[in-house]
Amino acid sequence: MGLKLSYTLLAPVYDSIVGSATQTMRLNSLKRIDIDTPQQVLINGIGTGLDLPFLPDNHKYTATDLTPAMLDKCKSRLPQHNLSMQLHTADVMQLPFDDNSFDIVLMNLILAVVPDPLKALKEASRVLKPGGKIYIMDKFIRPGQFAPTRRLLNIFIRHIATRTDVVFEELLQSCPELILTKDKPALMSGWFRFIDLEKLDN
């Protein structure tokens, strides 16, 4: 089953499954974009719009998702919030945006979902302006971590909903233009992490 189909099927129940479980983590993640100066912000994988209540209203947002059914739920929520936001059906591994377009790219629970997280990170870097920030919230295993249960689980669920075997440090090694500025635990003893990246100036 492809991710687009699986998330189409999950769309009606997605909020009830992950909404309350991730609310505090989402709020803490989104505090990173609470910046006075208006920014051009790309949200990769907006889903049903669970982030909307926590987004500062002074930025211009562009939001993507692979699944129209998820975006339909997000669109229905949008009028309740005073946000400047454009929604796009798009694959985060092949974004339809020009190079150096955004000040911030937000990736909440997306890198460990897509089939090729390195492509997704490279695309985020491509559309990010030099000096811009990538803010990530996701689950990763550490380099060399045995994690047998997570690796075994990944075999069964990676094509349905998410991956459990992604090593972030391996992704970052292939993106020399990105520097790590912060890495701290978010949930479950550090399985979920808040990671801040900055794109080097040309």
Print pLDDT tens along the chain (202 aa).
Answer: 465 655 555 556 655 566 566 778 888 999 999 899 999 999 999 989 989 999 999 999 999 998 898 899 999 999 999 999 999 999 999 999 999 999 999 999 899 888 899 999 999 999 999 999 999 999 888 765 555 554 444 444 444 455 667 889 999 999 999 999 999 998 756 678 999 999 998 6
The residue written with tokens 């020399």 in the block is 176
Give the count of beta carbons closer than 10 Å to the beta carbon of residue 137: 23
Q: How many CB atoms lie within 10 A of CB 134?
A: 23
Backbone angles phi, psi at 172, to 5 degrees: -65, -35
Fold of 3-199: Rossmann fold (3.40.50)
**137 neighbors 87 (Cβ within 8 angstroms):** no
Could you give the 3-state DSSP secondary structure of residue 44? strand
DSSP strands (E only) in the chain: 40-44, 60-65, 84-89, 102-108, 128-139, 178-187, 192-199
Q: Name the nearest CA neighbour of 107 among 65, 64, 137.
A: 137
Do the beta carbons of residue 110 and residue 44 sit within 8 Å?
yes
Taking Cα atoms as reference points, which of 41, 76, 82 lies closest to residue 62? 41
On the CB side of 43, CA atoms within 13 Å amount to: 30
Rg of the chain on CA atoms, in Å: 16
Lookup result for tokens 């994690």: 147
Q: Taking a C-beta distance cutoff of 8 angstroms, is the pair 108, 45 a contact? A: yes
pTM of the predicted model, to two decimals? 0.84
d(CA 108, CA 139): 10
Cβ distance 115 to 3 under 8 Å?
A: yes
